[in-house]
Each structure stands twice: as structure tokens, then as C-alpha cells.
């Protein structure tokens, strides 16, 4: 285990969308960061970086975060992920950024990769996330950890997060956060599913915002995997009575999976959702730069 104390600077998180969010001002506080081995799978050592604020927000769940990288690359300590989780810690929310098995390393994740192998890669990462949750739950008292956890991820990590949260019954997650992720279109929404926060660019060329093929492959390609993007999945959840928040970046592409993690308004939205929003619905539409649409309740322009 490694340990390094850090001090977060004062951070003003102001959500300026058309909804009535309140500015959130957090006070600088100590948080401990520890690196632990949480599992060994198929000869691979899997680690997590645990952030525990000195003063935690009462009753707020913790966040288990999976990085992106197409199940072939990526690190749990990449800058946008660290930036996002530091902001959560500054708001009194614990987190664990995990490494997981990158089973597509050296192979890619494109249209030439059979869809069943893509699904197996997602399932493996989701299984590792479940192992991390078990590890965290076993240390709730000794490490002053939350009793509830939300699973979150960006890009490939979001696909694994959604799979873990919505393909398994029973489910141990309190909620899920998806940054440019999608879910197998064959999975059905259930009334007992956890709430969702989904952030996505509406012109994402890799992971569809709605119902479409992964990477927009042709139907004849081996990798033609039909998916439902995070915002569209939010609509499915609402149809069975499960609450969801969405933020659609009109005209934006897949880079939202990283840019959203460092955007002040997205961080404020995530913090508010974790603290207060698990029991209601909200939709936000912004332009490709992340600026609120004036009076808009949908994206005005089609994708090129």
C-alpha cells in the first residue's frame, strides 16, 4: 500500500444551466489517497487508488471509477479522472479509481473485432469492478468508507460501468454515472435498477448517443454490436419508473468522455446528483463548448 496526503484547493463549482442549480462552494480539506491491491485475476494484479476525505458528506455514496481506453489501454490515474475525483473528494465524497483487465490490448476494439469478443471485454471489466466493490465493502468500518457506492466510468469504462449496473440481478450499486458510454441494446430496463447520470456528445462518432451500432459499423462487420447510449438508456429507465439525469452536449463528439470530467458545471452536476439527486429526473442541453442553450430543450442542429 502507498500513501500520500494531499490538500485540495478551494474550488467553486457553479452550475450555470437552465435548471435551478445552486452554486456550490467547498472548503479546502485534507483527504488521504491510498493505493491498494484489490484482486489478482488470471495472474494480473489489480490496484485501486482510494480517496477518503477527512470530512465526508453525510449519507453520500462513494464512487468507483473506471477509466477509458477501449479495453486495450488507459490508466486509473489519467489527468481527467484525477481532476474529477479530486473535485469529488473536495466536496466530501470518497472514491476509488480502479485498474481492470485490458483484455483487448494489442487487438483494438473496432469493427473488425467480433462483437462477442467486445462483449467479453466489457464483462471482464465489469467483473473486476464488482471485485473492487467487494473489497471496499469489506473495509467499510476500518477505513471509514461509505456503505453505498455508485459505479462510474468514461468511454470504455462507462460501458463496463453500465454493464455492471444494469445487466446483473440483484445489483449492489446505488447508482451509475456514464461519460460517453453505452449498453447492449438487448438488456431490458427493470424497475429495481439503480438511478443514472449520463453525459454524452450528441454527435459522438464512436459510441452512439441513441440506439445504433458501436463505432457505427456496417451491419455486415464482425464488430456490428447494437448499443443504446447513456441518454437513451436514461429514457428507458424512466419508462419503468427509475430516475435519471442527462446532460447532452449538442454537436459534440466522443471527446466529451474526457472534457466533461474537467468541466466545472459537470462536476457541480455530479456532486449535486450524488448528494441530492438520486430520487428525481433532470435533463440539460448544452452546446459543443459546454455552454447552456438559451431556452432550448433539445439539440437544434443535426450531425454532419
* pLDDT greater than 90 at residue 3: no
**Quick one: pLDDT at residue 19?**
40
More confident residue, 9 or 188: 188
Residue 43: band (very low, low, confident or very high) from pLDDT cuts 50, 70, 90: very high
Kindly tell me if the per-residue pLDDT of 215 is higher than 50.
yes
Rounded CA-CA distance 8/30 in Å is 7
Could you report the per-residue pLDDT of 270-281, keeping only the tens digit for each? 999 999 878 899
pLDDT band of residue 7 (cuts 50, 70, 90) is: very low
Range scoring the smallest mean pLDDT among 65-74, 85-94, 249-258, 294-303:
294-303
Provide the mean pLDDT of the chain.
89
CATH code that applies to domain 2-286:
3.40.50.1820
What is the reported pTM? 0.90
More confident residue, 72 or 9: 72
Neighbouring C-alpha atoms within 13 Å toward the C-beta of 164: 34
In sequence order, what are the beta bridge partners of 178? Answer: 153, 198
Strand segments (E) across the chain = 2-7, 11-13, 24-26, 30-41, 44-53, 62-66, 95-98, 149-154, 175-179, 182-184, 196-201, 211-213, 226-229, 244-249, 282-286
Q: At residue 145, does pLDDT exceed 80?
A: yes
pLDDT band at 196 (very low <50, low <70, confident <90, very high): very high
Amino acid at each position: 500500500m502507498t500513501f500520500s496526503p494531499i490538500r485540495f484547493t478551494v474550488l467553486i463549482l457553479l452550475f450555470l444551466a437552465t435548471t435551478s442549480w445552486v452554486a456550490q462552494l467547498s472548503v479546502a480539506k485534507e483527504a488521504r489517497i491510498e493505493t491498494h491491491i484489490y484482486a489478482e485475476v488470471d495472474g494480473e494484479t489489480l490496484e485501486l487508488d482510494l480517496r477518503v476525505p477527512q470530512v465526508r458528506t453525510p449519507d453520500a455514496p462513494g464512487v468507483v471509477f473506471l477509466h477509458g481506453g477501449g479495453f486495450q489501454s488507459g490508466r486509473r490515474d489519467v489527468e481527467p479522472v484525477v481532476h474529477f475525483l479530486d473535485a469529488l473528494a473536495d466536496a466530501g465524497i470518497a472514491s476509488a479509481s480502479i485498474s481492470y483487465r485490458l483484455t483487448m490490448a494489442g487487438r483494438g476494439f473496432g469493427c473488425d473485432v467480433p462483437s462477442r469478443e467486445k462483449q467479453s471485454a466489457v464483462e471482464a471489466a465489469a467483473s473486476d469492478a464488482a471485485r473492487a466493490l467487494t473489497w471496499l465493502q469489506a473495509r467499510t468500518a476500518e477505513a471509514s468508507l461509505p456503505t453505498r457506492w455508485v459505479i462510474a466510468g468514461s468511454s470504455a469504462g462507462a460501458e463496463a460501468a453500465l454493464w455492471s449496473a444494469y445487466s446483473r440481478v440483484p445489483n449492489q450499486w446505488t447508482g451509475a454515472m456514464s461519460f460517453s458510454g453505452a449498453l447492449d441494446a438487448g438488456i431490458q430496463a427493470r424497475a429495481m435498477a439503480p438511478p443514472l447520470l449520463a453525459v454524452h456528445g450528441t454527435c459522438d462518432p464512436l459510441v452512439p448517443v441513441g440506439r445504433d451500432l458501436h463505432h457505427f459499423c456496417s451491419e455486415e462487420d464482425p464488430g456490428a454490436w447494437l448499443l443504446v447510449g447513456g441518454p437513451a438508456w436514461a429514457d428507458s429507465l424512466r419508462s419503468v419508473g427509475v430516475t435519471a439525469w442527462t446532460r447532452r452536449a449538442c454537436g459534440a463528439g466522443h471527446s466529451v468522455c474526457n472534457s466533461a470530467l474537467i468541466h466545472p458545471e459537470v462536476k457541480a452536476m455530479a456532486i449535486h446528483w450524488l448528494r441530492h439527486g438520486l430520487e428525481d429526473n433532470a435533463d440539460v442541453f448544452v452546446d459543443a463548448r459546454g455552454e447552456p442553450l438559451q431556452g432550448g430543450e433539445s439539440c437544434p442542429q443535426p450531425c454532419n
